[in-house]
Amino acid sequence: MRTLVTGGAGFLGSHLCERLLNDGHEVICLDNFFSGRRANVRHLIGNSNFEIVRHDIVEPILLEVDRIYHLACPASPVHYQYNPVKTIKTSVMGSINMLGLAKRVHARILLTSTSEVYGDPEQHPQTESYWGHVNPIGVRSCYDEGKRVAECLMMDYHRQNNVDVKIVRIFNTYGPRMAISDGRVVSNFCVAALKGEKLPIYGDGQQTRSFAFVSDIIDAIMRMMDSEEGFTGPVNIGNPDEFTILDLAKLAMEFAGAAADIEFLPPRPDDPIRRRPDIALARRVLGWEPRTKLREGLKITMDHFRRELGLAGR
Ligand code: NAD
Ligand code: UDP
């Protein structure tokens, strides 16, 4: 099986490439290295089944593949708001290019959509049937609306051209290979706590997220790709254990073992107040549920950042 992973040098993509190679796939990792790093896949270079292509999916590409995991898109608010026009081009034009490729070579294609399609949700927890509450003109829209259009394109190529599509909606995920400069909350808190700096909390810290460990999410993505033909999703994948951002900060300080403190900063615009996945569909159709508790996953992630910061052994 020849498999294309767009965004393969990113946080999730690099773990996915590794798992696919372990399962005997031939893997083409395609990335423009905007938020991904060569270092994430360096250990895979030299494997004869692995190939890296530097390419921007906003431009078309011709490849012969059987399956496409379509992940390419910056996911951290800091990264996707850096060049919002490019972010939405990546989701819209990039998805059209990948769907065109899937159509031409009859490949199955899976989109990693996001819980952000629910915006600041008025339904809690969020089920796949909820249509969401997204600000179409806010600073997060380039990402949220981009992913909503990408989902729409997936379903239209499926209905109009019979493309074999799969959609997963991923909730906040963390783990090793997150970059120090990633900008998302888990990496920011781990790095600040280890350095003995103040952990920045936007707002009062009472907003919630449900954090899933990377290996659980990769497992769910691969199960979805292998699910029965004709089952398109979308399927929520995430860990339903919900935490306030203040809880997370306290946990990070406990595990870092350094003297750190919290700094309260003004809230970010359009920051969703609550987020928790309903994963009944994933349980039923994929036979999947997350196994890693936050305390366990955060310890592993803290060790990763200790190594990244050169603090290992202390
Ligand atoms: P990431 O930023 O680490 O990875 C994204 C990768 O895509 C990077 O390697 C980046 O260089 C690449 N990329 C971006 N624009 C590109 C372009 N135009 N052409 C080619 N490559 C491009 O983020 P991640 O956390 O690994 O997220 C991967 C996917 O999962 C994204 O689609 C994201 O929306 C989705 N997702 C992630 C989470 C999460 O919590 N990690 C949650 C929901 C959805
Ligand atoms: N957050 C925070 N400090 C940080 C980064 C994020 O308090 O250094 C908060 C942010 O305001 C949001 C939550 O943590 O409420 C999750 O933010 P993140 O950027 O990780 O992802 P989001 O789920 O908002 O896309």
Task: Note the pLDDT tens digit of each residue in 94-135.
Answer: 999 999 999 999 999 999 999 999 999 999 999 999 999 999
Ligand 2 neighbour 268 (Cβ under 6 A): yes
The pLDDT of residue 218: 98
Higher pLDDT, 238 or 229: 238
Partnered with residue 141 across adjacent β-strands are none
Contact 128, 169 (CB under 8 A): yes
Q: Measured in angstroms, how far is the CA atom of residue 171 from the centroid of ligand 2? A: 13
Residues with a CB atom less than 6 Å from ligand 1: 7, 9-13, 31-36, 56-58, 71-75, 79, 90, 94, 112, 114, 170, 172-173
Ligand nearest to the CA of 7: 1
From 185, 208, 246, the mutation candidate for ligand 2 (largest count of ligand atoms within 8 A of CB) is: 185
From 29, 30, 69, 71, the mutation candidate for ligand 1 (largest count of ligand atoms within 8 A of CB) is: 71
Sign of CA pseudo-dihedral 202, 204, 207, 209? positive
What is the rounded average pLDDT of the residues 160-174?
Answer: 98
Does residue 267 register a pLDDT over 90?
yes
Written as six digits, the tokens of 6 are 């767009």
Does residue 313 register a pLDDT over 70?
no
Phi, psi of 213 (to 5 degrees): -85, 145
- Give the position, in ligand 2's atom list, of the atom nearest the Cα of 77: 19
The pLDDT of residue 21: 98
- Residue 246 CA, chain-centre distance (Å), reads 22
Q: In degrees to the nearest 10, what's the CA dihedral of 178, 181, 183, 184?
A: 20
Does residue 139 register a pLDDT over 70?
yes
* CATH number of the domain located at residue range(s) 2-174+212-237 in this protein: 3.40.50.720
Does residue 36 register a pLDDT over 90?
yes
Burial class (CB within 10 angstroms; exposed 0-12, middle 13-18, buried 19+) of 211: buried
Does 185-209+240-275+291-308 carry CATH code 3.30.930.10?
A: no
Contact 148, 134 (CB under 8 A): yes
The pLDDT of residue 257: 84
Does residue 259 register a pLDDT over 80?
no
Q: Measured in angstroms, how far is the CA atom of residue 7 from the centroid of ligand 1? A: 6
User: Could you read off the pLDDT of 41-65 as tens digits, one per residue?
Assistant: 999 999 999 999 999 999 999 999 9
Q: Measured in angstroms, how far is the CA atom of residue 185 from the centroid of ligand 2? A: 5
The pLDDT of residue 70: 99
DSSP 85-130: HHHHHHHHHHHHHHHHHHHHHT-EEEEEEEGGGGBS-SSSSBPTT-
What is the rounded average pLDDT of the residues 183-198?
Answer: 96
> Of the residues 143, 157, 174, 202, which is catalytic?
143
The pLDDT of residue 192: 96
118 included as an active-site residue: no
The pLDDT of residue 314: 58
Q: Measured in angstroms, how far is the CA atom of residue 149 from the centroid of ligand 2? A: 23
Ligand nearest to the CA of 199: 2
What mean pLDDT is reported for the chain? 97
What is the rounded average pLDDT of the residues 206-225?
Answer: 98
Q: What's the CA gap between 231 and 225, in Å, rounded?
A: 10
| Closest to 223 (Cα-Cα) out of 125, 290, 154 | 290
**CB proximity list for 288: less than 8 A, separation 6 or greater:** 219, 220, 223, 237, 279, 282
Contact 288, 239 (CB under 8 A): no
Where do the domains of the chain lie? Answer: 2-174+212-237, 185-209+240-275+291-308
The pLDDT of residue 171: 98
For atom 4 of ligand 2, the residue with the nearest CA is: 185
For atom 19 of ligand 2, the residue with the nearest CA is: 184
- Residue tagged 């999916």 (tokens): 57
Ligand 2 neighbour 202 (Cβ under 6 A): yes
What is the rounded average pLDDT of the residues 68-72?
Answer: 98
The residue count for the chain: 314
Does residue 155 register a pLDDT over 80?
yes
